[in-house]
Structure 1
C-alpha cells in the first residue's frame, strides 16, 4: 500500500486519496525486523552548521497590500457570450425544501457558550491526589548557581551572547570567524573563544529532557538507525517542567452551561468522556489489585492515588530538502494534562521530540506486497520500542513530580495519535481506502444513512494473539486489519484503543480533504473563466485574500490557501448559473453546508447544541450532494476523509475539541525540530548532529527559564500562561495620524467623504443636544460653521476581538479596518484605495447575531483638532477621541434560504449616499461583502471599485472564525 513512507509532503500538502483498494497477499512471508545493540551517541566532533535563521516579516505597513496580491492590474480574457439560459425557477429539482435558517436560534446557541461554567468534579479523591511534597521548581538544577543565576556563564552579557549564538545567531563557522577577529572575545570578556568551547559549556548544563539513543534496526538484511528517547522519561520531563506547572490539569471534570447540568460543554481534553471513563476504569483495577495484595499494609493503605497522564502522539514524515530528497520522520509527544492553549504554543515547549523513525521505503525488498508489509512492520516495531516503557507504568503507575514539587502516583496512558490519513491507516493497521475507526466496507463509505460500529478492539487483539502465521493472517483479515509482525505498537499499551484514539484533523481532513474536493467540484461545475473573473473583482479586506489571477489555475495548494479559498467560495457561487439552465440551488446548499461544517468543527468549545448544528451541516451536505452526480462530476462518494466527518461529534465528546489535535501544530514543529535542526548540520550523517543540536537547544531554553525564575525571587508558585492579557483599550490606534492634516476638499476627492462638513455638523449638534429630533438637528446643523478646514486622519484602526470573561472564540485577536486612499507604491504602480466595510453597533447589539447592528463603509478615520473641543463641546460632554465618517447600507432582514447570507444595499436618498459621523468605538469589527455578480460579472468592475459600482451585496460570515461566531 502507499503508506506513510510514500506520503512525502510539506506544509499541509497531501497526495490525493479517493476510493483506493489494495489487494494484498495476506499470507506473504514477513520480512524479519531485528534490533541490534544501542549505538553510542558520543561527544564526537561538532560538524554541524548551527545557523538558526528565523523568517522576519517586513514591518512596512504601507506595502502590506502588496504581499498577498499577485498583480495589481492583471490581464484577463473578455467576458464570454452566454451559451445557456439561466434557470427559470430557483429550485425546480428539489423535492424537499430546507427550512429557512433561524438567526435567533443560532444566537441562543452562541450565547450559551458564554454562560458561566458549572463544573462537576470527578467523585473520587484519588484523581490528582498528592502523595507528598518534594523540593520546589528547579530543585535538581544544582547549588553551584545560587550566587550567579547565569552560571556557568560569568555574566548576563555572556549568557545573552551564548543564547543568541545558539537560537538566533550565525553558523558555527561564522561564529568562529567572528570570535577570531582581533579583540572581539577579549573586549566582550567571553570565557569561550570559539563555538566548540561554547558547545562544551552548554553540554555541561543540567538537562531537563532525556538524551537521544540510537538503535540499529535490521530489515531484510539491511540496517537502519532509529533515534529515540525513553518515552517514560519524556513524560516525566514534560510533567515536571516548572514552566508548565501552574497550568497542569490532574483530574477529569464535566463542564455545563447551567446549574441543572443539562447542557454539557467540551473543550480541553479533561472535559471529554475518555478521561472520566478511563479514570473510573483505572481506579477499579487499582482497587482490585490492592484488595488482592498479600501485603496487609498495602490493603489497609489502599490505592496511593490515580492521576492519569494522557499521552498524545503525533507523527508525520516531512521533507528536509526540496531537491536532495532527504526526509525525516519525527514523532512528537505531548500530554493532555497541558491545556491546549499552552500545547499549541511552540515557545512554551509543551511538545517534545520523541524519535526520528527510519525513513527508508525499503526498496531493496523486491516484492511489492512484502515491501508494504515490511514498511508497516518497521513502523510498529520502532514505535513499540520507543513506547515500551509506558506499558508497566500505565498499568501500575509511577511516582512523578510536577514542576511545583508535588509528587503524585501517575498512570501515563496512550490517549490519542495525531496524523493525516496515511498515518491513520498505518497506525490502525487497516487498508488504504477504509475508515481507520469503524467497520464500514470501503465500497459503502458514501452511504451516509448506514451506521457502522467502531472496530471491536477485543476481537482485533484476539486475532493478533493467534500463534500460527497462516491462521493469524486469516484472523486479522476477518477483523479488517493487516497481520502486523510482531504486532502493532499499541497492542500491549494499557487502556489503549487506537480506533477511538484517531483524532479529527482540520488541516488534512477538512482543508486538504473535503474542501479541496469541493473546490475541484465547483471548478468543474462552472465556467472557470467566470470563476476567475469573480475572484479578481472581490473587494479587499483584512482577512480575505484576493486572487487576482483567479483560483482555477492554482495547483499544489497548501492548507492555508484552501482556507483562503473557503472564505470566498460561497460568494463566488451564490448567484452563478449552472450550464443548460439546471438549478444551482442544491450545489449552493452543498457548498454552504460543508463551509458550515468546516467552521463549526473549529469551535474551541462545544455544547450539545453546537454539535447538533455540526451534525445538521453534514446532513445538509449529504441531502444535496446528488447535484454533483447529476452534473457528471461524481459517480460515488467512497471518500474516507468525507466519511470520517460523521465521527467528529463522537470524538469531540470523547477527547475534546479539534484544536486539541490539529496537525497544523505538527507541521509547525517540523520547522523547529526537523528542518531547522537539519539546517544546523553539514548535511552528512545528519541525524546524530540533529539530535545533538536539539539537546543543546533544549538546555538553552531550560537555562533561560531557570534564570528568569531566579531573577523573579525563586517563587514557589509559578505564573500561569493562560491568563488573558486584555489590552487597555479595545480600539488600538497608531501613536501619530497617517496624515497630520487633510483638508475638507481632499476628504471629498481622495477619500470619497463628499458630505463630510454636513455630517460633522449634524454629529456636533446631536452630540451636544441628544434630545433633538432629526428635523431640529438638520436645522441647527445648517448654522454650524467650523473655524478649521482640516483634520488629522488615520488610515487604519485595530479592534480587539477577544472576550476576557469567557472562552476565546476569535481566530485572530485583532481585526483591522482600513480607510486608505489610492496611491502609488514604491515601484510607481497605482494601488487602489481600500475603504473597508464595518459591523456597527447601533446601541442595542449583543455579543453575537446581527440584531442591533448595521453595515457601513468607513471612508475616513479622524480626530478633531484640540481647539474644536473647546469651541463646540462642553467639558461634561467631550466628543469621542476618534471618529469615523461612514456610508450606510440597508438594515438586515432575513437570510437567503439557500446560501443563508444576508443581502444589503446602499442607502441612497435623492441619489446621494446616506452618510454619518460616528464614534469609532461603535464599530464592532470589519465585515466582508460579496458583490451580487449576477449571471455574468460586469467586466468593468475591479477589486478597487466594486464596492462603489455593485448594486447589492451579500454579507460574508466566513471571512474568519470570529465573524462566523458573530455574524448570523
Structure 2
C-alpha cells in the first residue's frame, strides 16, 4: 500500500510519516498547502454559529472542547463547506456513462474545527515544546534512539542491557534505563485514553469480569483528523446510475447505498453522516499456550474510501475495546453460552453508549426510530418468562430463533436495524462455506485420490500456490488456501461428476465471484440472484448422489446449512449497505496481529489485557509524536515499520521482480491490497522512460505499455546470442525461420501497426532468407495490467514463462496468454471478442546484420501456438452447458503440426490459465511437467483470477 500527498497527488509514499515529510519540504508547494490549511482554521470567521449539541458526560475524555463541539467541529477540518466535501465524489472513478444524484445540502461545516496538530498541542506539556519540540526528550537524535527502543519489541531487561553498553553510555541520552525511557514515553501527547471497569454479573465467574475500553468517539475523531485520510473521506450520500435514463443503479461505497441516503434524510439539513464500522471476533493470543484468548472490538469509519480502508497498512481500524472472555460457573454448558452472550451485549452497551448518544442528540434528531421485529419478539418472550430465569427464557426465545440475549446492545441505537448493519462477510460466509461444503461435495464425488492426483499434475503458475499433495488432506486451511482451491476445482472436477452436480457447484462458484465485485449494478444483481437460483434448482442432485456427508461418512439428506441460508441476504444487503467487499474481515484479521498478538508477545504471559492496552498506548503515542514532528519540523522518518507477518509458502513458486537492471531513480514500487510484498509499477517506469533523452537509457527500452498492459523484460537476455536455426532446435520449433519470414512479409505489406493473426498458409519455405542471423532470447516476461473495474488501480505483475526443455521441465515450461488479433476490440472491455488464446513458445529480439536497415530490430517478438474453441451443440456462446467454460484444443495444420506464428509482444494482453481435460479418469502418466504438452483438450479456466473472470464471462 502506498500513501498519496493530499495536495499534489504524488503517490508512492510508504506511510503517513513519509507523506508529512514530503509536505513539509520548504521548497514544495505542498508545504504552502499545509500552512494555508492551518491558517484557514486559525483565521476562520468567529462569527459563524457553532453547532448546538448536548454535552455527553459518559466517562473520562481527553479533550472536553471536542466533546462539547460535537461532530460538526470534527467535520469542519476536512474542507469548510459542503461543496468541498463533494470533491471526494469527483475523485471517485466512474464509468463514462454514469450519472450521479448527490444528496442535497448535507455535510455542512459549523465554525472552527480541530486539526491533528491542534489536538496534539492540547496536552499539559505543550508549553515545554514551545522551546523544545521533542520534549520530554532532549532533541531529535535522543527521540530517534528512544523511539527505536520503544518499538523494537525488546524486553525491559534487554533494553537495560543495551543502555549499559560502554559505547551507548557515551551518548548524551536523556534516559539511562528502560523504566526511565517508558516514563518519558508516558509523557508524550496521548490519543484516546484507555479506561477499565469491573462489570458485575448475576451469576458467579471464575475471575472478576474487567472491561478495558476507549471512548469510540475519541477513536473516530482520531481517524477523522488524521492527515493520511484527508483525501479519502466521503460525506455525501449519492445515487449512481449507469445511464442518463436512471434505470440501473450502481452500488459501490457505503455512500452509494440506500441506507446512507435514507439515514441522511432522517437527519437535519446540513448534518454530517458518519458510518461506524465495528468488527469483533475472538482470537488466539498464542498457538502454543492453549486457552489464551482475547476478544478485540475494532472500530473504523465507512466514510473512509474502501480502497484505502481495506489496506492493512493504512491502520484504518483501531482497537476501541478488549471485551472480557468470561468463564461462568454454571452446570449446563448451553446456559453458560447464553450468559456469555448476554455479557458481551452488556459490555458493548457500555462501550458504545457515546455513539448512541451522538446518534440521538449530537445530530439533533427529534424522534428515535421505531423498534424492529426482533425487539417485538423479545417483548413476547419477556411476557412469558422472566429474563433472569435464563433456562425458561431461553426456551421461549428459541421459538423465535433467538439466542437468549434479553437486552441486545443495539436496542436503543437510533437508525439501527440488525438486518441491515449485520453485513455479509466473505471470509466466513463465502470462503469458509466453500471449503466446508462445496469442496467436500466435489472430493466425495470425484474421489479423494483422483482429485488429489488431478490437482498435483496441474502445471505450476509462478506466484500462485501449487497443491503437490492434493487438497483432501490439508491441515490448517486459511482463507488464502480456500481461495486458491476455488481457482481450479471446477475445471479439475470436469467429466468426473454428474452434470447436475457440476451445475449446482458451478452456480455457487459464479455467485461467489460475482458478489466480490467492487462495483455492482442492478444487472449484476440479477446475475447474482440467477446464479443462486440455479444452485437451488440443481442442489438435489448432490444429495441424490450421496455426496453431502457428515464427519462420520453418513449421508446427510437435508440442507440445514446456516451459511447457505444467509446467502439469500446478500442481494438485499448490497442495496442497503453497498458492495460486500468493503466489509471483508481480511483487514481486521490482520489487525488482530498488530493490535493483539504482537503486543501480547511482549507481555509476561499473565493478565494480558492491561499489558496489551499499555503497549498499544505507548505505540500510539510514538506514532502520533513522529507524525507531529514531521509536520512541524521536517523530521526524517524514524524508520519504524510494521513487521511483515507474511510467511513464505513453500508451495508457492515466487518470482521476485528482478529489478537490478532498472536505475534506482526509475524504480517505482507500491503496495497492493492482499499483497504484503511491494510490487513494481512498470506503468510508472515506462512513463518515465518515454521522457528521457536519447542516449540516457538503454535501447531498446525493456519496459513499455500498450493500452492497459505493461511489459517488462530484463536488460540481460537469458540467451545473449543464438542462431535462428539453433533456437528452432532448442525450443522445438521447426517452422521458426519461415514463421519469421512470413511475419516480415506481413509487416512490409501492411505496415508497423498491422495486427497479426496466428494461422493461415505458410508462405515462406524452410530455407527462407532473413535480414539477420542471430537472436537474443528471454525465458521470462513480466506482464502487468490494471483492475477490470477501475483502470487507475495497478495490479501486481505476473510472470509468463517460456523456457526450453530442462530438468525437471523435460517438455519445456510455456505459459498461456490472451492475444489480441483484431484492432477494433479491446481487452478487457470486449472480452474474448477479437482475441484468441495462445501458448508462448519463444520470446526473442533479432540481432540485425551490420548495415542492414530493418524496422523491427529494436523490438521484441514472440512465437505462439494457437488454441481454438471447441464448438458445443448445446451451450450459450460455445460454452460447455454445466460448467459454462470454453473447451479448447490446439489448432493444427493439415499435416498435423501445431499452428504457430510470430507476432509482436505488444499483442499480448493478459496471462490466462488452462486446465487439461482429464476425462472420467486422469491418465496416471501425467505430471505437472508434461500435462500441458500431452493433453489434447483444455478448459479455459475463468475462475483462476477474479480480474479475468469478468471479461471471460462476457
**TM-score (normalizing by structure 2):** 0.74
Question: Which residue of the other structure, out of 405, 411, 435, is the alignment partner of 1:484?
Answer: 405
CA shift, 1:150, in A, is 6.0
CA 1:193–1:859: 2 relative to 1, 3 Å: farther
Verify the 8 A CA contact 1:514 1:642 in the aligned structure 2. no
* Distance change in 2, residues 1:229/1:470 (3 Å): closer
User: What is the Cα deviation at residue 684 of structure 1?
Assistant: 2.0
Deviation at 1:137, TM superposition (A): 4.3
- Does 2:419 align with 1:499? yes
Distance 1:749 1:160 in 2: 61
Question: Per the alignment, do residues 873 and 746 of structure 1 end up closer, same or farther by CA in structure 2, a change over 3 Å counting?
Answer: closer
Instruction: Find the partner of 2:889 among 900, 905, 918.
Output: 905
1:135: Cα distance to partner? Answer: 5.1
- Of the candidates 333, 341, 353, which is equivalent to residue 376 of structure 1? 341
Q: Any residues of structure 2 matched to 1:541-940 within 5 Å, and which?
A: 541-542=461-462, 544-576=464-496, 578=497, 584-632=498-546, 633=548, 634-710=556-632, 727=684, 728=687, 729=705, 730-733=709-712, 735-737=714-716, 739-741=718-720, 743-744=722-723, 747-748=727-728, 750-770=730-750, 778-779=763-764, 783-802=768-787, 812-821=795-804, 833-842=812-821, 843-846=823-826, 847-848=828-829, 849-865=831-847, 867=848, 871-874=852-855, 878=856, 881-890=859-868, 894-909=878-893, 910-940=895-925
Distance between the aligned counterparts of 2:500 and 2:183, measured in 1?
67
| Equivalent of residue 944 in structure 1, options 913, 929, 935 | 929
Say if 2:878 is the partner of 1:964.
Answer: no
**CA offsets per residue over residues 894-932 of structure 1, 9 Å max, x none?**
111221111111122223222222222221111000111
CA contact (8 A) 2:772 2:846 kept: no
Which of 245, 252, 261 does residue 260 from structure 1 map onto? 245
What's the offset of the Cα at 1:785? 3.2
User: 2:352 aligned with 1:387, yes or no?
Assistant: yes
- After superposition, the Cα gap between the structure-2 partners of 1:625 and 1:479, relative to the gap in structure 1 and judged at 3 Å, is closer
Distance in structure 2 (CA, Å) of the matches to 1:569 and 1:224: 47
Partners of 2:473 and 2:797 in 1: CA distance = 32
Task: Give the counterpart of 1:343 among 309, 316, 340.
Answer: 309
Per the alignment, residue 230 of structure 1 pairs with: 215
Q: How many residue pairs are counted as aligned between the two chains?
A: 765
Does the Cα contact within 8 Å between 1:796 and 1:820 map onto a contact in 2? no
CA distance in 2, matches of 1:952, 1:390: 60
Q: 1:552 to 1:540 in 2, by over 3 A?
A: same
Asked if the contact 1:113–1:606 (Cα under 8 Å) also holds between the matched residues in 2, the reply is no
For 1:775 and 1:461, how far apart are their aligned partners in 2? 74
| Deviation, structure 1 residue 198 | 3.4
**Cα contact 1:516–1:562 (8 A) shared by 2:** no
Paired residues of 1:543 and 1:960 also in contact (CA < 8 A): no
Gapped regions of structure 1 (runs ≥ 5) = 1-36, 42-111, 284-302, 399-408, 415-453, 579-583, 715-719
The structure 2 residue matched to 1:117, chosen from 76, 83, 98, is 98
Q: Can you list the C-alpha shifts for 1:431-478, whole angstroms capped at 9, x where unaligned? A: xxxxxxxxxxxxxxxxxxxxxxx9724524645876972699487556
C-alpha distance in structure 2 between counterparts of 1:925 and 1:776, whole Å = 27
CA distance in structure 2 between the aligned counterparts of 1:218 and 1:39, rounded to whole angstroms: 20
Q: Does 2:282 align with 1:317?
A: yes
Cα distance in 1 for residues equivalent to 2:305 and 2:538? 39
Is the 2:156–2:178 Cα contact (8 Å) retained in structure 1? yes
Secondary structure in structure 2 of the residue aligned to 1:635: coil
Could you say what secondary structure the match of 1:469 adopts? coil
1:537 is the counterpart of 2:457? yes
Distance 1:464 1:697 in 2: 47
- Deviation of the 1:944 alpha carbon: 1.0
1:831-865 deviations in Å (ceiling 9; x for gaps): 98532100111134322311111111112333344
CA contact (8 A) 1:801 1:814 kept: no
Relative distance call for 1:684 and 1:193 in structure 2 (3 A) is: same
How far apart are 1:186 and its partner, in Å?
A: 3.4
How many angstroms does 1:613 deviate by? 0.5
Q: 1:656 to 1:470 in 2, by over 3 A?
A: closer
Is residue 342–residue 721 contact of structure 1 (8 Å, CA) maintained in 2? no
Identify the range of structure 1 (340-349 vs 768-777) with the bigger mean alpha-carbon deviation.
768-777
CA distance in 2, matches of 1:886, 1:852: 17
Residue 236 of structure 2 is aligned with which of 234, 251, 268? 251
Q: Which residue of 1 aligns with 2:107?
A: 128
> Are positions 1:516 and 2:436 aligned together?
yes
1:693 deviates by 1.0
Contact kept, 8 Å, 1:762 with 1:781, in 2: the verdict is no
Say which is worse superposed, 902-911 or 266-275, in terms of deviation. Answer: 902-911
User: Offset at 1:549?
Assistant: 1.2
- TM-superposed deviation, 1:966: 2.1
- Aligned-partner SS, 1:227: strand
Distance verdict in 2 for CA 1:569–1:246, change over 3 Å? same
How far did residue 157 of structure 1 move? 4.9
Q: 1:882 to 1:785 in 2, by over 3 A?
A: closer
How far apart are residue 235 of structure 1 and its match? 2.0
| 776-785 or 647-656, larger mean C-alpha shift | 776-785
Distance in 2 (CA, whole Å) between partners of 1:163 and 1:863 is: 52
Write the deviation string for residues 695-751 of structure 1: whole angstroms up to 9, x where unpaired: 12222222333344346799xxxxx99999863344242543352515246644554
Paired with 1:709 and 1:224, the residues of 2 have a C-alpha distance of 42
Task: Tell me if the contact between 2:501 and 2:542 (Cα under 8 Å) persists in the aligned partners.
Answer: yes
Tell me how far 1:175 sits from its aligned partner.
Answer: 3.8
Q: Which residue of 2 aligns with 1:4?
A: none
Please give the alpha-carbon distance, in whole angstroms, between the structure 2 residues aligned to 1:534 and 1:640: 31
Deviates more, 1:214-223 or 1:626-635: 214-223
Deviation, structure 1 residue 819: 2.2
Cα distance between partner residues in 2 of 1:267 and 1:248: 15
> Helix, strand or coil: the match of 1:356?
strand
Q: Give the Cα separation in 2 of the matches to 1:198 and 1:541.
A: 50
Q: Distance in 2 between matches of 1:166 and 1:327?
A: 25
| Residues 562, 344 of structure 1: alpha-carbon distance in 2 compared, 3 angstrom cutoff | same
Matched with 2:193 is 211
CA RMSD of aligned residues (A): 3.7
**Structure 2 residue aligned with 1:357:** 323
In structure 2, runs of 5+ residues without a counterpart are: 1-57, 63-92, 549-555, 637-669, 674-678, 688-704, 872-877
